[in-house]
Homo-oligomer: A and B are copies of this chain.
């Protein structure tokens, strides 16, 4: 569903109220027939709004408001990210959907968002748990004028944006795990999956996928990730408004993306390091077919991870999976 036009306007008018708004009033304001108004009201009900209809008084919007494209759009303060917003109740994967749109020429900033994913994807072909009614799954199409080698910087941009948006709702500071998981209290609260279409010399488009566990509570997580996953709500203690968090996240993405394009990697890496929680700690990194253990020395100016092995040799790792050496992942 692309949330534009009359339905967005009807919701705006109903919210402006106060009280009931007559069908005739809506018909006049939108310059459409009464039948058209009725069809829009029906469509809005299907997309989750509770709208009371009274023959004498007209229509009235009742709470609670749904999580959909109209609501997220109404809170957006961005210039271009999310200005084209495709919201789905269910989608195989927002990244796959956005990838197809990008191939068809969708403009920079186009966002695909979903209430649930049937085939949510994580990095390196892994699965991302994507139940309905709880979390945020979104993908942003970007068209940076860069080469494929530079695209991993958008992973850092995404990590910084996600950490920043999540931190608004958390008493503790979120921690970034290299390269791009967001942890709260040592457990994964958000993940990032960057995919791109390119020639060897230049990127055609990047799809920046961000999944945030917002309102999942501990008992809801599948057993296999119960000990490694958490949510913003678990940290916050109360249910979190997904619409506000999604809008905040898109604002942060736009901000840090603009900074990256204007000022390059230095401010991105500097901000990223503020959230990085593993410097000086014992870590284990699975990289291709070897595993490296040692003390994490941070990342270098290219974004590669530096690990000092027990023998003293410092290894530079460009791709892999990092974990604290004490933890065990399934």
Interface residues of A (CB under 8 A from B): 96, 99-100, 103, 123-124, 147-149, 151-152, 154-155, 193-202, 204, 318-319
Contact assessment for B198 and A148 in the assembled complex, using a CB-CB cutoff below 8 Å: yes
Query: Contacts A147-B319, A148-B151, A319-B147 known; A197 to B200 CB distance under 8 Å?
Result: no
Residue of B whose beta carbon sits closest to that of A155: B200
Collect the chain B residues with CB atoms within 8 Å of residue A201's CB.
Answer: 123-124, 152, 318-319
Collect the chain B residues with CB atoms within 8 Å of residue A155's CB.
Answer: 200
Besides the contacts A148-B149, A148-B200, A194-B199, what 9 more A-B pairs have beta carbons closer than 8 Å?
A99-B197, A123-B199, A124-B202, A148-B198, A149-B149, A152-B200, A154-B200, A196-B198, A196-B199
Collect the chain B residues with CB atoms within 8 Å of residue A318's CB.
Answer: 201
- Between A124, A149, A199, the greatest number of chain B beta carbons within 10 A of the residue's beta carbon is seen for A199
How near does chain B come to A147, taking the closest CB pair, in angstroms?
Answer: 7
Bound-state CA distance A148–B150 (Å) is 10
Collect the chain B residues with CB atoms within 8 Å of residue A99's CB.
Answer: 103, 197
Residue of B whose beta carbon sits closest to that of A206: B200
